[in-house]
Amino acid sequence: MRRYDCVVMYNATNVVEIEGCREKAYPSTILREEVGAVEEALREGGFNPYVLSVERFSKELVALLLELSPRFIFNLCEEINGETELEMCVAGLLEMMEIPYTGSGPFALGLALNKFHVKRMLRAAGIPSARGYLLAAGDGPNPRAARFPVIVKPVHEDASLGINSSSLCRDPGELESQAAYIHGIYNQAALVEEYLDGREFNVSVLGDGDARVLAISEIDFSGLPEGEPRIVSYRAKWDEESEYFRTTKPICPAPLGKRLENRIKAMALRAYRCVGCRDYGRVDMRTDARGNLFVLEVNPNPDIAPSAGFARASQAAGYSYADIILRISQLALERGAK
Ligand SMILES: Nc1ncnc2c1ncn2[C@@H]1O[C@H](COP(=O)(O)OP(=O)(O)O)[C@@H](O)[C@H]1O
Ligand SMILES: [Mg+2]
């Protein structure tokens, strides 16, 4: 086999259309443009990457990894065996095979899959997260655990799956109907959270140990039609044809006063460390109507495509796309050398 020195490992996206689902897959969600971009960046940095699509665990996969024996793996796998719940097992496999790999380890990846677990950990560490509770199928709303209006979202999805114009609920009737949608379509408990009626920030963090914020991006909701909730719904994130996409624009760097900027940076780093993220991550935050800051969620191994928020933040911090991919690779190599 030709001499490859690293591997870009990814999963081919598995699109399942569920009848009645309001978050259908759009072309931009199917295309894994990051794979080719990461490969090219590695070549630019003098590496010779082998690009490996992984669908299922097999002994052939283990044999191939042993044969390639790469210096490190750029891990872009978000699922294996068709299960996003098994994302952490890919990192676990590389851990056991003692192959250095980029991004977070199995614990952070597994933990971050469940927004309610993360919320409890953040709150226990004194990091503000909106008040909320889990609503399983068959349970009734608990208005004392979260005051209306609330946001209702699936507890273990990402990419705004399950988030649409009806996710903001103002009364028990709306809440029950949206929770039934989550239970029926996404087959999981709904996370009910107090609605934070303020600004929204995405904070990109780089590093392992000495992590730092690259840049803060803000979503500009000002063009959204009157009456639409000021949230980043699935269509706002992915449906390039829709007005939700056009009217929820990320602005990076966000226009911020020094004090708020420092508060956002400090809280994002605390949340990143609390979940055990490493190399690269994105912390989503919002303020409430009074300007209090909260962490919405922590994303280890976020989308690192050139068009995604993390790459935009890297650029705002003065790095080219190749710079940032090589820096992340370096972090994996340094861990391997220890
Ligand atoms: N408690 C909340 N208050 C206001 N908006 C929220 C709240 N929770 C989620 N959202 C909105 O829904 C979007 C997606 O929620 P998030 O928790 O970040 O999940 P995902 O993993 O799908 O990105 C956020 O970007 C935000 O606009
Ligand atoms: Mg988010």
- Is the CB of residue 112 below 6 angstroms from any atom belonging to ligand 1? no
Size of the chain, expressed as the number of residues it contains: 338
Ligand 1 atom at shortest distance from the alpha carbon of 234? 22
Any domain includes 288? yes
The angle formed by the CA atoms of residues 321, 325 and 327, to the nearest 5 degrees, is 115
Buried b (16+ CB within 10 A) or exposed e, 131-157: bbbbbeeeeebeeeebebebbbbbbbb
Any domain includes 277? yes
Long-range contacts of 225-228 (CB under 8 A, 24+ apart): 228/165
The number of domains in the chain is 3
DSSP track, 161-218:
TT--TTSEE-SHHHHHHHHHHIIIII-SPEEEEE---S-EEEEEEEESSS-EEEEEEE
Any domain includes 110? no
Any domain includes 124? no
Q: Who has greater pLDDT, 328 or 82? A: 328
193-238 pLDDT, tens digit each: 999 999 999 999 999 989 999 999 999 999 998 889 999 999 999 8
- Is the CB of residue 160 below 6 angstroms from any atom belonging to ligand 1? yes
- Is the CB of residue 284 below 6 angstroms from any atom belonging to ligand 1? yes
Residues 236, 274 share a domain? yes
Any domain includes 40? yes
Any domain includes 117? no
Domain final residue pick, 172, 194, 216: 194
As given in the structure block, the two tokens for residue 234 are: 């699935």
Ligand 1 atom at shortest distance from the alpha carbon of 195? 3
Secondary structure (H, E, C), 96-157: HCCCCECCCCHHHHHHHCCHHHHHHHHHHCCCCCCCEEEECCCCCCCCCCCCCCEEEEECCC
**Burial of 256 per CB tally in 10 Å (0-12, 13-18, 19+):** middle
Nearest-CA residue for ligand 1 atom 2 is 195
Residues 326, 224 share a domain? yes
Determine the structural domain holding residue 219 and report its residue range.
200-337
- Is the CB of residue 152 below 6 angstroms from any atom belonging to ligand 1? no
293-303 pLDDT, tens digit each: 999 999 999 99
Any domain includes 174? yes
Nearest-CA residue for ligand 1 atom 11 is 231
17-64 pLDDT, tens digit each: 778 888 877 666 666 889 999 999 999 999 999 999 999 999 999 999
Reported confidence tier of residue 122, pLDDT bands at 50, 70, 90: very high
How far is 114 from 190, CA to CA, in rounded Å? 11
Residues 215, 315 share a domain? yes
Domain final residue pick, 171, 194, 217: 194
The share of the chain scoring above pLDDT 70, in percent, equals: 97
Any domain includes 113? no
Residues 220, 187 share a domain? no
The amino acid that residue 266 corresponds to is: A
